Chain A
Amino acid sequence: MTTTVTAVDGQGSTAPAAVAARLTGVTHHFGEASRPPVLDRIDLTVAPGEFVCLLGASGCGKSTLLSLVAGLDQPVSGTVEVPGGRPALMFQEPALYPWLTAAGNVELALRLRGVARAERREEAQRLLTLVRLEGSGPKRVHELSGGMRQRVALARALAQEGDLLLMDEPFAALDAITRDVLHEELTRIWTETGRAVIFVTHNVREAVRLGQRVVLLSSRPGRVAREWSVDIPQPRRIDDPDVSRLSAEITEDLRQEIARHGH
């Protein structure tokens, strides 16, 4: 296997905005190389403004893939191109800073982006309202429930600029109703801002509800096992018959994929 040097920027030949992210032959493993790699020769292209949902069994390397796209880790081989600059990432754990309030966490993202002090407060409040936390701005992180923390983390990710938004199981800790509301908001934000999104989830219905494309990752080694394009027009609802039908189809494939790899 040849090891190529990672290039984060687009290489002259590609126009800067032709893709939001492009992974070419990305292979990654932790520790010794002898074991099957966590990610094995992944090829994945996300078009500008595209909404891609990533499905896969637990431990198949979804979070690893996102941290490679975010530039937090470098792949062992292959290239990751993100021409639009540093993507926004919402981690699987809320990972809020406990020394700041909920609003403070969102404001920090704005501040590091260079937003002027006067606008920060207002913008943070707007984002917290968006995730249905308008009253919780002054609360400390430890005073928030798990689902509230996740929503603050969502507000913080939305506070970052960048043409690409990476989300790692963002709604896993939410009740069904709040999740429905946030699905709607996310769809709306995505349509309005035209950002590309890579959205990791275990929930097939959620993937079909949100994505234009659903990518199934196999485990050990992690490869792109299958892809579906979702041609159901937005706005969709999670209980639309079309969504249910495609979800059932994907679930069947997912079940086979998981059975093939033990558990």
Chain B
Amino acid sequence: MATDTSAPPTRRTADDDLAAGLDALETPIAAPRSSVWRAAWRAVWPVLAALGALLVVWQVAYLLELKPPYALPSPADTWHTLLGTIQDGSAWRAVTLSVQRAAVGFSMSVVVGVAIGVALAASPLLRRAFGPIITGLQSLPSVAWVPAAIIWFQLTDATMYAVILLGAVPSIVNGLLAGTDQVPPLYLRVGRVLGATGWTRIRFVLLPAALPGFLGGLKQGWAFAWRSLMAAELIVQTGLGTGLGQILDLGRVTSDMSLVIASIGLIFLVGIVIELVVFAPLERHVLHSRGLTGQASAR
């Protein structure tokens, strides 16, 4: 055996190698990986089939002229309008502006929501006092805040962010509380034995232990942030650039139903893409690294 000077001074005996051999016996064997593409296809085809069915229903309704064509355009017309907005770049500008606003607003909501959530998780009295109010706020449509936000902040970005915060923070706070409630008591006892108190207890035990439950709250928080932003953009028309909500309202003002449907499609698509690109991988990473997923899917 080569001399290993960095090795700590523990005595090595023949038993060690034997023990290591037994370790190898008891190490779990990695489960075989199934094909990534097959798994993806299994997830995707029912969605595609459902979308196809909806398109067929829409086309049939158009052919039957359930509504006049200006009120119910054909899927093809709508597709052309959508392509037009994509080609002249307005769709891309609107999507990036809205996503940027939502991302900034959501990030602020996470900071504020975690701060409030930690305070409520740490203090039963605070939680009894503010918990019901925050749960109540969660069921209040954030569009209700738009008039107030306009009065406070006029037509500035602050209005958007205020509405996003009021929409997203309650979900994030409640998600964090749900996460901390589910932390196994044993983890907290271990933390006490290790001497984690006060802030170190929150930082090294409570928050990481609550993360899997908290992810649901984050996802819901994002959904609320996105919805709140759309509500605010729909109502606030002037002076703040053209986001997706503003394009949607432009469709209403110009009675351009295909533009309305195209913008709804874009809003919907952004929601799905963010879920797929940000939250699904995050969730998979967190659960996978803790061995909480049953499948041996790719990382």
Contacts and interface: CB of A to CB of B under 8 A. Distances in A.
A181 interface: yes
Given A72-B192, A177-B22, A181-B15, A97 B209 contact: yes
A15 interface: no
Contacts of A68: none
Given A148-B26, A175-B22, A142 B291 contact: yes
A220 B184 CA distance: 28
A145 interface: yes
Contacts of A113: 195
Interface in A81-138: 86, 88-89, 91, 93, 95, 97-100, 108-109, 111-113, 125-126, 129-130, 132-133
Contacts of A156: 194
Contact of A109 (B23, B26, B186, B194): B194
A248 B79 CA distance: 86
B208 interface: yes
Interface in B185-242: 186-187, 189-190, 192-196, 200, 204-205, 208-209, 211
B26 A145 contact: yes
Interface string A7-50: 00000000000000000000000000000000000000000000
Residue of A99, A142, A175, A177 with highest tally of chain B CB at under 10 A: A99
A194 to B, nearest CB: 19
Interface in A127-178: 129-130, 132-133, 140-148, 156, 160, 175, 177-178
B10 interface: yes
B28 interface: yes
Given A112-B194, A112-B204, A129-B10, A99 B209 contact: yes
B73 to A, nearest CB: 51
B204 A108 contact: yes
A242 interface: no
A89 B23 contact: no
Contact of B16 (A67, A99, A132): A132
Q: Size class of B's contact patch?
A: 20 to 34
A147 B200 contact: no
Q: Size class of A's contact patch?
A: 35 or more
B50 to A, nearest CB: 35
Contacts of A99: 208-209, 211, 289-290
Interface in B265-293: 289-292
B193 A70 contact: yes
A148 B24 CA distance: 11
B125 interface: no
Interface of A: 67, 70-72, 86, 88-89, 91, 93, 95, 97-100, 108-109, 111-113, 125-126, 129-130, 132-133, 140-148, 156, 160, 175, 177-178, 180-181
12 contacts: A86-B195, A89-B193, A91-B186, A91-B193, A99-B209, A111-B204, A132-B19, A141-B290, A143-B291, A148-B27, A175-B22, A178-B23
